[in-house]
Amino acid sequence: MAHTIAEIATALGAQALGDVSLRVSGAAEPQAAGPEQLALAMTPSYGDALKLGRARAAVIWPEADWQAMGLEAAIMAPLARLAMARLTQMLDDRGRMAPGVHPSAVVDPTARIAPDAAIGPLCVIGAGARIGAGTQLASQVTVAAGAEIGAACLILAGVRIGLRVRIGERVILQPNVTIGGDGFSFVTAAESNVERARASLGEARLSPPEDATWHRIHSLGGVEIGDDVEIGANSTVDAGTIRPTRVGRGTKVDNLVQVGHNVRIGEDCLLCAQSGVAGSTIVGNRVVLGGQAGFADNIRIGDDVVIGASSAVLSNVPAGRIMMGAPATSMAAHLASYKALRRLPRLMRDIMASKKPVPKPGLSD
């Protein structure tokens, strides 16, 4: 997997200097780089660190005197925003799995597996499931009967793919992801405490309902994951009730994220770690949901909405809005309230301390 400095520079559209035939096999921070690694020193702040490491080549900032730093070769840092993406892709040495089915995998004879797909050790693939061309299943993956996985996917260890799940092309599922678990959908014969709380706007004093037994609404709708989606470790996407839960093309989902039943998420969204989307909510395109933030159930989020970390969105959001807080409001309103709240204790102290208690009803005239 080693590359020459010339090859890397070409891939980045950058200029190579010095011994461009030098080979490197990975990237590292300047101070930690060994002689076979490419140091990444894209700003002058890394100058001193370069001297501590043992790199022979580096990606350097424009106008850096790379020879004076003892480097044998250098790549002038390109300004392109995509440089890190291209560089790390090039240096990624995760080998491709050899095509074929590992003998320890348990594969139903009716499953259709593309000839160049790779099925790792101890995977289980159910009847009628389909695995697309070039797709790799690492070890111990489960694919339920009838599930479909498109071409060129990477499904890592311990992923569970349930009934009626369809996955597009070039999808990456990190370890221990669960796609197609049953939705959290239950109903009581009598009005439940949740319904009474909502109906009373929180004013009710709740007492035991007549019949508190939760009856299960089964999930028959499955899940559809679009092309180029990535889902982080230990995240969950539940099956829909009678239509599929959907995650749109190009959307990226971080670790420990929950996507509830019947949810539809648009294209090119980001769902940061530990965020959640409750059942039946519809999310537009290019929406960003911050870490530990959540969308309530049964709401609509427009395109190009950004939600700050740790926020709770409880109602519809029009397109283009930036929201924060729990419950979330516009970021501007939230910050104004937050600043005022910080000053509120002093205001209250002042009011309490004033001899003539101001304001006080009926006192002023």
CA dist., res. 45 & res. 61, Å (int): 10
Residue type, 298: N
333 neighbors 312 (Cβ within 8 angstroms): no
Q: One symbol per residue from 213 to 252: x for binding a second copy (CB under 8 A), - otherwise; what is it?
A: xxxxxxxx---------x-xxxxx-x--xxx------x-x
Q: For residue 31, what is the DSSP state?
A: G
Binding to a second copy by residue 47, rule CB under 8 A?
A: no
3-class secondary-structure state, position 296: coil
Binding to a second copy by residue 69, rule CB under 8 A?
A: no
Q: Pull the structure tokens for residue 313.
A: 């969105």
- Total residues contacting a second copy by CB under 8 A comes to 150
> Closest separation between CB of residue 164 and a second copy, Å?
9
> Closest separation between CB of residue 319 and a second copy, Å?
8
Among 102, 114, 128, 151, binds a second copy (CB under 8 A): 102
Place of tokens 């350097």: 60
37 neighbors 25 (Cβ within 8 angstroms): yes
Binding to a second copy by residue 136, rule CB under 8 A?
A: no
Binding to a second copy by residue 354, rule CB under 8 A?
A: yes
Among 11, 270, 299, 300, binds a second copy (CB under 8 A): 270
Among 176, 245, 280, 281, binds a second copy (CB under 8 A): 176
**CB-wise, 68 or 193, nearer to a second copy?**
193
Collect all residues with Cβ–Cβ distance below 8 Å to 356 and sequence separation of at least 6.
Answer: 363
Q: Pull the structure tokens for residue 325.
A: 């807080």
CA dist., res. 119 & res. 97, Å (int): 8
3-class secondary-structure state, position 63: coil
CA dist., res. 9 & res. 190, Å (int): 69
| Span interacting with a second copy, options 15-23, 46-54, 68-76, 85-93, rule CB under 8 A | 85-93
Torsion of Cα atoms, 66 then 67 then 71 then 75, to 10°: 40
Among 129, 202, 224, 263, binds a second copy (CB under 8 A): 202
Q: One symbol per residue from 5 to 34: x for binding a second copy (CB under 8 A), - otherwise; what is it?
A: ---------------------xxxx--x--
| Span interacting with a second copy, options 10-18, 50-58, 65-73, 278-286, rule CB under 8 A | 278-286
3-class secondary-structure state, position 59: strand
Residue type, 16: A
Among 15, 45, 67, 89, binds a second copy (CB under 8 A): 89
Q: Which of 3, 102, 261, 334 is catalytic?
A: 261
Binding to a second copy by residue 142, rule CB under 8 A?
A: yes
User: Which residues pair with residue 164 across a beta bridge?
Assistant: none
Residue 261 annotated among the catalytic residues of the structure: yes
Q: Name the burial class of residue 184, with classes exposed (0-12), middle (13-18) and buried (19+) by CB atoms within 10 angstroms of its CB.
A: middle
> Closest separation between CB of residue 70 and a second copy, Å?
20
**CB-wise, 22 or 269, nearer to a second copy?**
269
Binding to a second copy by residue 36, rule CB under 8 A?
A: no
Catalytic residue numbers, as ranges: 261
